[in-house]
Structure 1
């Protein structure tokens, strides 16, 4: 009398085993390693280990085209503080956001993308102070494949800046704090918006709190700008000859203005002539790396542009360089709106609109 029960149990066991086997087949994945030629990297990436390239600067990205319904991203994060946007099929208004855990982990993006061709962009929202990350590849469906790479833009822009350029607090509430890494998104900073509008590749060299003469920490931009690794002041060296921008934007001195005039932290307090000279020296360093690039010396949109004092330092430095024969250098200023915190996305968009128009006119883009 127990035979029917036994038969039912056997049948259920067979069904369960079949279901498990089917699930394992449907979820089977393959790893596409970082040295695959069909990945497109943008930004200062350290390829010392081609199987685990190191990314640290805000806005560093990895793009690919692939087939199959499944996608996971493999990252090995140094500190567990970074955030990444994963943009699938160009939908940058609804990205998958990765809060990286410390160490090596695989992050499932989707198992139901739909059949056919897909695109992915892995974008570092945060900056060097959140640490570096090793990219270990992507996982796609076992039957999928990486396709020919996305086309790389021919136009190139590089930008040097501080928290404004990084995008500090740009996704925070207008009446909320703006220091959280989760609300820092370089993708919606003015430089990145401008580059997309101009269909240009962008390298962002920025660090929240940094200045030309003084920073909120123990190093300044002239000591930092030439690194391949953005995690603090270190001995890594970027090879400037391997990527040459058409346009270089420099948006600095916000922290200098606050720390010198308000906090009185730089002693003795530099004279007007010394402030101009320090800024001019840094711009000359950039010019020495890129003799033919169009340089744009910017400032704003925080309170350094509230009055003309600090913009005038920039104007005088640029005028001095023009007198010395540099005819490919200009200025642009983003007006202080009265908002006391870091610019939010709406302000970044307004600043990007102004910068985009300026570059388009200057470069005939």
Structure 2
């Protein structure tokens, strides 16, 4: 799949059901249709309204007919989605989901023949969950067999960098708006496309291993089915097993411990290394056969003189010393001096580095 670094976007703001499209939206495709292809940690407890909460969760389909409408029921009205038609990744249509159930016409006047549809969640759990209520096609439209699933699988555990916070914000502007968050153009999603791998993204802006900007940490959050805050939902890890796991955490720990001094008593170097080891052991116990990559960057936890990459290296070295057969390595994304969240250009560079690394290690 060709990666296009520049994106021209048209933003769709629809705050109600557009009855004018009823003429061509006559074929109803329920969310439970087996020809729809879902990817990511998705809650299927209601098959007629699967819940998407994690960044990068997606729905794909092949269809016929000149038009397509998406039906979503958004929890808070804060989520954004990409819609791609016929693999046109240069021109995504962006849905700003209004609160409640709405219909979003995303394609019209398509030529005759088969077409492709892909919807991806740009935002993450802090923007809430969205129930997918199905599709509406033109009267003559039908669903075709779904896309062939990719054989390779990668999961990322991370924070705002992995989620994509601010990656589409102006370089000289604020990067805390949901509209500027696009997981599709993060280093993790780009790496997966570079390697033709199916992707799961288990990330949350502000999260750390020892401390977060809120009262839960990744070891308390990593196994949830729903990404909306700390909750009692549980993901069934047997449903999907990655070939590769990438962990990119410690940026928020670095800020909150060394800069903000919010963790008391303050952990010493040994405790920081041990905290990292403990989470990696948890991941290893969850995925006994996966190749684990322990990453850090590219924000200021990687600045010159920072101890944090050393903590990651020490943890991995100890784990490999304890088990010489351990399939585990480190990779670091250099700090460029840019003080805010990485923008798309930085994500592309980091994806290129990680992609080359994984091609060599996995022989992909």
Q: TM-score range by the shorter chain?
A: over 0.9
| Structure 2: distance between partners of 1:27 and 1:198 | 38
- Any gaps of 5 or more consecutive residues in structure 2? 1-19
TM superposition shift of 1:27: 2.3
2:295 matches 1:298: yes
3-state secondary structure, aligned to 2:341 = coil
The TM-score, its normalising length taken from structure 1, stands at: 0.93
Aligned counterpart, 2:307: 309
Counterpart in the other structure of 1:355: 354
Q: Which runs of 4+ in 1 moved over 6 A?
A: none
Whole-Å separation in 2 of the counterparts to 1:287 and 1:101: 40
Which residue number in structure 1 is paired with residue 125 of structure 2? 128
Aligned match of 1:251: 248
> For 1:257 and 1:48, how far apart are their aligned partners in 2?
38
Structure 2 contact 25–69 (Cα < 8 Å) conserved: no
Q: State the distance in 2 between where 1:154 and 1:161 align.
A: 23
Higher helix share: 1
1:202 counterpart (196, 199, 202): 199
Matched with 1:69 is 66
Deviations 1:67-116 (A, max 9, x none): 00010000000000000000111111211100000000010112212221
Relative distance call for 1:25 and 1:247 in structure 2 (3 A) is closer
Aligned equivalents of 1:24, 1:258: Cα separation in 2 = 50
What is the Cα deviation at residue 34 of structure 1? 1.0
Corresponding position of 2:29:
32
1:114-193 aligned at under 5 Å gives the runs: 114-193=111-190
Which residue of structure 1 lines up, in the alignment, with residue 10 of structure 2? Answer: none
State how far apart, in whole Å, the 1-side matches of 2:350 and 2:108 are: 38
Aligned length in residues:
343
Q: Do the aligned partners of 2:301 and 2:308 also contact (CA within 8 Å) in 1?
A: yes
Does the aligned pair in 1 maintain the 2:74–2:130 contact within 8 Å?
Answer: yes
Encode CA deviations 1:147-182: one digit per residue, 9 max, x unaligned.
010011000000000000000000000000000000
The residue aligned with 1:212 is: 209
Task: Measure the CA separation in 2 of the matches of 1:25 and 1:191.
Answer: 38
Measure the CA separation in 1 of the matches of 2:23 and 2:265. Answer: 68
User: After superposition, what is the alpha-carbon deviation per residue over 1:297-331, rounded to whole angstroms, capped at 9, x for unaligned?
Assistant: 00000000113410000001001110111520000
Residues 109-118 or 293-302, more deviating: 109-118
Q: Give the secondary structure class of the aligned counterpart of 1:50.
A: coil
Task: Report the more deviating stretch, 102-111 or 344-353.
Answer: 102-111
Larger radius of gyration: 1
Cα 1:133–1:90 change in 2 (3 A) is same
Considering only aligned residues, what root-mean-square deviation do their CA atoms show, in Å?
Answer: 1.1
Which residue number in structure 2 is paired with residue 323 of structure 1? 321
The CA distance in 2 between the partners of 1:272 and 1:315, in whole Å, is 12
Return the alpha-carbon distance in structure 2 between the equivalents of residues 284 and 25 of structure 1.
54
- For 1:193-223, what per-residue CA distance to the aligned partner results, in whole angstroms no more than 9, with x for missing partners? 0000000000000000000000001100000
Structure 1 residues 261 and 25, CA gap change in structure 2 (3 angstroms): closer
Provide Cα deviations, 1:255-293, integer angstroms capped at 9, x if missing partner: 000100000000111000000001110010000000110
Residue from 38, 43, 61 that aligns with 1:46: 43
